[in-house]
Amino acid sequence: MATVADAVALFVAHGSRRPSDTRTSIPLALLSPRMDSVQLGSTGTRVSEIAFGTWRFGRTDDTGTQEIGRERALELLDAYADAGGQYIDTADMYGNGLAEEWIGEWLETRDRDQFVIASKVYWPTRNDPNGRGLGRKHLRWSLDAICDRLGTDYVDVLYTHRWDDDTPAAEVMRTLDGFVDDGRVHYLGSSTFDPNAWRVAKANELARREGYEPFTVAQPRYNLVDREIVGNYLDMCDHYDLAVCPWSPLAGGFLTGKYDRESAVPAETRAAGDDEFADRYFTEKNFQLLDVVRDVAAELDTTPVAVSLAWLRRQGSVPIIGARTTDQLEENLDAATVSLSDDQFERLTTAGSEE
C-alpha cells in the first residue's frame, strides 16, 4: 500500500497544475484506504466507487428553507475528498448555478486534475427563447458558463440532463462531439428520468455512423424501490457498454430507514420539505421492501444505507449519493466496505420485483 511519503514524493515529482498554488496537494487515491476507484464503463478514466452529488447545494425546498448553504457545501466536499472521493456530480441548474460556483471556489484549494467532475445541460438557464434545451446555441453558451463557474478549462463528463425533442439528434451529437474535439469535455453522458432507451440508442447509432463521440455514461434514477430502468434501459446500457451512475440511490432518504409506517415524518428531512415525497415513497409495497433491507442489514451488522448502496454496486454501477450533513456522508461512504452474499442480493432483488 502506498504511504503518505510516496504520495508526497509523487506530488513533488509532478507538481501542481497552477504555478501560483503553493499548497501541498497530495494525490487523493494514495491516501485513501476507504474508497477504491473503478473504471468508468468503457472509458479510460477511473472514478471513486461512490460519487458525490451536489443537487441540494443552494436549493430552496418547498418550505422556503435553503437545504445546503455555502459553508456546509464546502464542508461536505472536504469530507468527501478527505475520504478519498474524487467523482463529483453537479449540473448548471443546481441552486441556479450556486452548486458549480461553490465547487469552483472549493477547487481553488485543491488540484482540479485530481477530480472527475460531471455537469449537465438542458434546463432553462436564461430568460430567452434559446436559453434552454440542447440546441447548438444553448449548448455552447452553457458549457462556457459551466467552465466559468467551476473555474476550470474542462469538464470530465458532460451530460444532457434530459432529451430535447425540439432539436435534431444530429445537431446535438455534432455539437457535443466538437466539445470533445476541443478538449473541453472528456466524455458524453445521457441523464434520464424516463426509461426511454431508444433515444440514447438512436443518438449512439448516429454518432457511430457519422464518426462522432458517442454517449459513454448513463445517469438514470435507479435504486431498490425505483426500478423503471430494469429491462429495456439497462439492456441498452449493457449493449453500448455505458457506465451506469444511478441518481437518488437511497430514494431520497427513504432507504435509510428513517421513515416508518406509523411515526410522523421527522422534521428537517426531505419528506418534510418535499410535498410529493410521501405520495411517491410511502406505500405498503415500499415498506415491505424496506423490511427486507433491514433484515439483510441486521445479518451483516450494518445499516440499510450500506445494503441499498451495496445492491447497486454489486451490479457494477457507481451510485451518486446525496447527503445533507457530514454525518450522513460518513455513514454513506462506509457502505463502500459492505458486500452482499448471492442469497442476500437475490432476496433484495426479488422483494422489490413482487407486485
Ligand X SMILES: NC(=O)c1ccc[n+]([C@@H]2O[C@H](COP(=O)([O-])OP(=O)(O)OC[C@H]3O[C@@H](n4cnc5c(N)ncnc54)[C@H](OP(=O)(O)O)[C@@H]3O)[C@@H](O)[C@H]2O)c1
- d(CA 227, CA 353) in angstroms, rounded, equals 8
Under 8 Å between Cβ of 49 and 38:
yes
Pairing of strands 37-39, 185-192: unpaired
Which member of 94, 159, 212, 222 is catalytic? 94
Q: Nearest distance from residue 175's CB to ligand X, in Å?
A: 20
Measured from the CB atom, the residue of 214 and 322 that comes closer to ligand X is 322
Measured from the CB atom, the residue of 84 and 252 that comes closer to ligand X is 252
Pairing of strands 37-39, 46-48: antiparallel
* 268-273 long-range Cβ contacts below 8 angstroms, 24+ apart: 270/61, 272/63, 273/61, 273/62, 273/63, 273/65, 273/67
**E strands, the chain, in order:** 37-39, 46-48, 51-53, 87-89, 116-121, 155-160, 185-192, 215-220, 243-244, 320-321
Measured from the CB atom, the residue of 6 and 61 that comes closer to ligand X is 61
Measured from the CB atom, the residue of 27 and 106 that comes closer to ligand X is 106
Q: Nearest distance from residue 161's CB to ligand X, in Å?
A: 6
CA-based nearest residue to 172, from 127, 210, 129, 221: 210
Which residues contribute to the site for ligand X (CB under 6 A)? 53-56, 89, 161, 191, 193, 219, 247-253, 256, 258, 269-270, 305, 320-324, 328, 331-332
Q: Is residue 94 among the annotated active site residues?
A: yes
CA-based nearest residue to 41, from 285, 202, 289, 218: 218
Active site residues: 94
